[in-house]
Amino acid sequence: MKAVAAVAEILKREGTTFLIGYPVNPIIEAAAQADIRTIIVRQERTGLHMADAVSRITSGQKIGVFTMQHGPGSENAFGGVAQAYGDSVPIVVLPGGYPRRITNIPPNFNSFINYRNVTKWCEQVVVGDAVPDAMRRAFTQVKNGRPRPVLVEIPVDVYQEEVPEPLGYKATPRTRVAPDPDAVTEAARILVEAERPVIYAGQGVHYARAWQQLRELAELLEAPVTTSLEGKSAFPENHPLSLGSGGRSIPKTVFEFLKGSDVIFGIGCSFSTTNYGVAMPKGKTIVHSTIDVADLNKDVVAEHAVIGDAGLVLDALLAEVRDRLKSKPRGRKAEVTRQIAAMKAEWLAQWMPKLTSNDKPLSPYRVIWDLLRTVDAANTIITHDAGSPRDQLSPFWESTHPLTYIGWGKTTQLGYGLGLAMGAKLAKPDALCINVWGDAAIGFTGMDFETAVRERIPILSILLNNFSMAIELPIMKTATEKYRSTDISGHYADMAKAFGGHGERLSEPGEIIPAIKRGIAKTREGIPVLLEFITEKEINFSIFK
C-alpha cells in the first residue's frame, strides 16, 4: 500500500474518527477514503486548537489529530502547536514536508527542525516503509507520560512510496506511572501533620480522571482545595471545601487560604511561574506531585516530591492517609468551611454591583453572571479567551462538574477559545459548548466561525465587544490619546449572519438572558450562534497581591 494510505489506516487503528486539517496534504484524501471524517478549517491555528480540545475533553483518551501542507501550512500552524505545548496538551500533528532533495535547503521550512522546541516528539520520515515505525513512536509518546504535542513530518515524495503489506500496526499501549511508595509515605505524613494544608490541583487530575480521589482526599484531610486555571473543574466549586479558582484574577478565598496555609500539596500541576496562575506564597512547605520530573524544583522549591500519574498518586495517598487517621475526623471541617463560606460571601457581595449591573454599555460581569445562571452547568463546557474575558470569567464561573471548563494560559494566544469550543463540541456533541471572548480575540480567528457553520459544529460564542483592547489601555495611554491605537471596530453579529450562523447584537441588560435562551435553542437546531454584547471598557479585576 502507499505510505499515505498506511497513515490513514494507522490513524483508524489508533481510534481516530475525524481528522482536522487544511489542504494540501494527501492524508486528507486518504483519510476520507478510509471513512475518517475530514474537517477543513479556514486556517491552521484554529484546527490545532480544535484538536487540542478533543484531547483535553476526553482526558487524552481520544487524541486530536491535525494535518497541513508543507511550507505555508506548517509555517502558519506554529502558533497552534506552541499553544498546545505551552499548556501541555497531547495532540498529533502531521505536516507535509518539502521533497527530500530540498528539505534541508534554505529557505524551505523544515518542520523537523523548526518544531523541535514545541513538541515532545518530532520526527521526519525519510523513506516510505518507515511510516508505521514513525507513527508508532509518535502515538506511544503522545499517549504516555507528560501530555504534549508530537509531530511526524512526511515529505511529499514519501507519501506515494510503498509500505509492505500486510500492515502489522496495532494500537499503541497507554500506561500509567506509579509513585515511589516511600515518597507517598512521606507525603502522607506531611499532609496529616499539617495544621492548615491547602490542596492545589492541576490538569493532571483531569488527564488521570482522578476527580473522585481528589475529593476523597480533601474530605479526609478536611482541607480546602483550589485549582490552577488548567485544573479548573477538577473539584466541584460548590463544595464547602472549595476555595474557587482562577488565574490572574481569583476569588479572595484562594489568596487568603494559600497565604494562611502551612503546607501546600500540588497534585498534577507544574507550579510554573506565570501571570495566569496563582503565585505560591513564600515560606510554605510544598509537597509537589507531578508526572514530569522536569517540573520539579523548577519555579517552586519543593522539599517533598511524588512523581507519577495523579490518579495513582492519589490512590496511594488515600490509603496511607486513611491508615494514619484511623477513621478519626480531624475536627476541622466545621471551622474551615465556615471561614470559606463567610469569606466567599463577603467577596461576592463586593462584586455583586458589577455582576448584576444595569449599566449601559453592559458590564461584562453582568453578561457572565447571567450566562452562569441560565445554562445547565453539568452539561456545559465553557472556555475564556486571552485578555479581560479570562480575568472576568474565571473567578466567578462556578464549575461543578469535571471538564466543564477549559482553562488555559501558560501561553495566551488571542483567538484560542473559538477552536477550543469547536473541538469540545466535536468531542461531546450533546454538551452546550461556549467560548467567551473579546473583540480583539475575534480578530484573530473569527473567520473560523464559518467553519463552525459549514462543518455543523453548533457552538455558542459570547462576544464582549467594547470596541477596544481595553486591557491595554493603562499601558498604551499616549498611543491611544494621539493615535487611537487601542481602538478596534466591527459588527460581529452581522459577520456571524453573513456566514450562515445566528447572530445578535445586544445592548440592553434585560435582553441578556432571553438572548442566551434563544441562542441555546439555535445551537440545538445545529446552528452556531454568536451573541455580541456591547460592553463597557471594564478593567477592574479580582486581583490580590
Question: How far is Cα 151 from Cα 136, in angstroms, rounded to an integer?
Answer: 12
Cβ-count burial of 447 within 10 angstroms (0-12 exposed, 13-18 middle, 19+ buried)? middle
Q: Is 438 in the site for Mg ion (CB under 5 A)?
A: yes
Q: Which does 59 bind (CB under 5 to 8 A by kind): Mg ion, ligand TPP, none?
A: none
Q: Count residues near Mg ion (CB under 5 A).
A: 5
Residue nearest to Mg ion (CB): 438
Spatial CB neighbours of 475, under 8 Å, sequence gap ≥ 6? none
| Stretch touching Mg ion by CB under 5 A, among 233-241, 322-330, 458-466, 510-518 | 458-466
Q: Is 441 in the site for ligand TPP (CB under 6 A)?
A: yes
Q: Position 119: which residue type? A: T
Closest residue to ligand TPP, judged by C-beta, is 438
| Interacting partner of 413 out of Mg ion, ligand TPP, none (Cβ under 5 to 8 A depending on kind) | ligand TPP
Q: Which does 177 bind (CB under 5 to 8 A by kind): Mg ion, ligand TPP, none?
A: none
Look up residue 107 and give its three cell numbers.
Answer: 529557505
- CB of residue 23 to ligand TPP, shortest distance in Å: 24
Asked if 439 interacts with Mg ion (CB under 5 A), we say yes
Cα separation, 326 vs 330, whole angstroms: 10
Spatial CA neighbour of 291 closest among 204, 403, 184, 202: 204
Minimum CB separation of residue 252 from ligand TPP in Å reads: 22
Shortest Å distance, C-beta 474 to Mg ion: 14
Q: Which of 370, 200, 355 has its CA nearest to residue 270?
A: 200
Rule CB under 6 A: say whether 419 interacts with ligand TPP.
no
76 touches 44 (CB < 8 A):
yes
What is the SS3 assignment for 14?
A: coil
Looking at the Cβ atoms of 295 and 385, the one nearer to ligand TPP is 385
Q: Which residue has the cell 483567538?
A: 415
User: Could you say which of Mg ion, ligand TPP, none residue 241 binds, taking C-beta under 5 to 8 angstroms by partner kind?
Assistant: none
- Pick from 85, 76, 84, 78: which is nearest to 114 by CA? 78
Percent helix, strand and coil across the chain, each rounded to 5? Answer: 45, 15, 40
In eight-state DSSP terms, residue 500 is T
Alpha helices in 326-363 (DSSP H): 333-355
Q: Residue length, the chain?
A: 545
By C-beta, is 222 or 439 nearer to Mg ion?
439
Considering the complex, what minimum distance in angstroms separates the CB of residue 181 from ligand TPP?
43
Q: Residue 191 binds which one of Mg ion, ligand TPP, none, with CB within 5 to 8 A depending on kind?
A: none
Residue 471's binding partner, choosing from ligand TPP, Mg ion, none, with beta-carbon cut-off 5 to 8 A by kind?
A: ligand TPP
Residues 394, 392: Cα–Cα separation, whole Å? 6
For the bound state, the minimum distance from the C-beta of residue 118 to ligand TPP, rounded and expressed in Å, comes to 15
Any residues with CB less than 8 A from the CB of 118 and at least 6 apart, and which? Answer: 78, 81, 82, 84, 85, 149
Helix, strand or coil, per DSSP, at residue 434: strand
What minimum distance in Å lies between the beta carbon of 483 and ligand TPP? 16
Is residue 204 part of the contact set for Mg ion (CB under 5 A)? no
Sheet holding 37-40, edge to edge: 37-40, 18-21, 64-68, 91-97, 150-155, 121-124
H-assigned helices in 144-180 = none
Measured from the CB of residue 225, what is the shortest distance to ligand TPP in angstroms? 29
Span of 235-243, 325-333, 334-342, 381-389 interacting with ligand TPP by CB under 6 A: 381-389
Query: Among the candidate windows 229-237, 269-277, 467-475, 523-531, which touches ligand TPP by CB under 6 A?
Result: 467-475
Binding mask 387-416 for ligand TPP (x = CB under 6 A): xx-----------------------xxx--
Cell reading at 411: 501561553
Binding footprint of ligand TPP, residue count (CB under 6 A): 17
CA distance 26 to 43: 17
Question: In this complex, which beta carbon is closest to ligand TPP, that of residue 380 or of residue 388?
Answer: 388
Q: What is the binding site for Mg ion (CB under 5 A)?
A: 438-439, 466, 468, 470
Q: What is the binding site for ligand TPP (CB under 6 A)?
A: 386-388, 412-414, 438-441, 464, 466, 468-472
